[in-house]
Amino acid sequence: KSAETSPSVVFENIQGCSLKRLSMLLESISGLAVDDDFTVEVIPDINVAVATFIKSIDAEEFVKKCSQNKKVNELKITARLLELTRSIKAENVPASVSAECISVYFQSPQNGGGPVSDVQLFPEKNAAIITFCDHKGNT
């Protein structure tokens, strides 16, 4: 698949499905193993989970398989590709860390980063928004 396709899939309306159940369902649909081939992060506040594939797959085809899966439909879960973005939110950032330090850290290829165009600090929330020059830096 092209580098322009996100390796992540968003699952919405997951309130009736535990992380374990969702992970097993995704393993069944994809034929891949959670933790080895993909990770799943649940965002309970908005009833969403995000599966990020470590192993290269056709994410668009996977979304299509999910929409045709009987159990996914019974649970009323929807799946879509996660949009590519140039910005990420870093949490638990100590208030003493400078924007320059964060920029250097996230520019490092060893940390999965790339060229950073902007860093916005939110010390009261211990967070920062890092914007990359293109979406390839936010891995």
- β-strand partners of 42: 49
Q: 31 and 73, same structural domain? A: yes
Q: 14 and 77, same structural domain? A: yes
8 A C-beta contact, residue 62 and residue 1: no
pLDDT for the residue numbered 84: 82
8 A C-beta contact, residue 130 and residue 106: yes
Residue 94 forms part of a structural domain: yes
Q: 54 and 17, same structural domain? A: yes
* Both tokens assigned to 14: 């997951």
Q: 60 and 39, same structural domain? A: yes
Q: 75 and 21, same structural domain? A: yes
Tens-digit pLDDT profile for residues 61-101: 999 999 999 999 999 999 999 988 888 999 999 989 999 99
Residue 67 forms part of a structural domain: yes
Q: 16 and 77, same structural domain? A: yes
8 A C-beta contact, residue 66 and residue 80: no
Range of the domain at 71: 8-81
Q: 93 and 60, same structural domain? A: no
User: 3-state SS string over the chain?
Assistant: CCCCCCCEEEEECCCCCCHHHHHHHHHHHHCCCECCCEEEEEEHHHCEEEEEECCCCCHHHHHHHHHHCHHHHHCCCEEEECCCCCEEEEECCCCCCCHHHHHHHHHCHHHCCCCEEEEEEEHHHCEEEEEECCHHHHC
pTM of the full predicted structure? Answer: 0.69
pLDDT for the residue numbered 2: 43
Q: 100 and 40, same structural domain? A: no
Residue 139 forms part of a structural domain: no
Tens-digit pLDDT profile for residues 13-65: 999 799 999 999 999 999 999 999 999 999 888 999 999 998 888 999 999 99
Q: How many domains does the chain have?
A: 2
Report the CATH number at residue 61. 3.30.70
Residue 122 forms part of a structural domain: yes
Residue 1 forms part of a structural domain: no
pLDDT for the residue numbered 1: 41
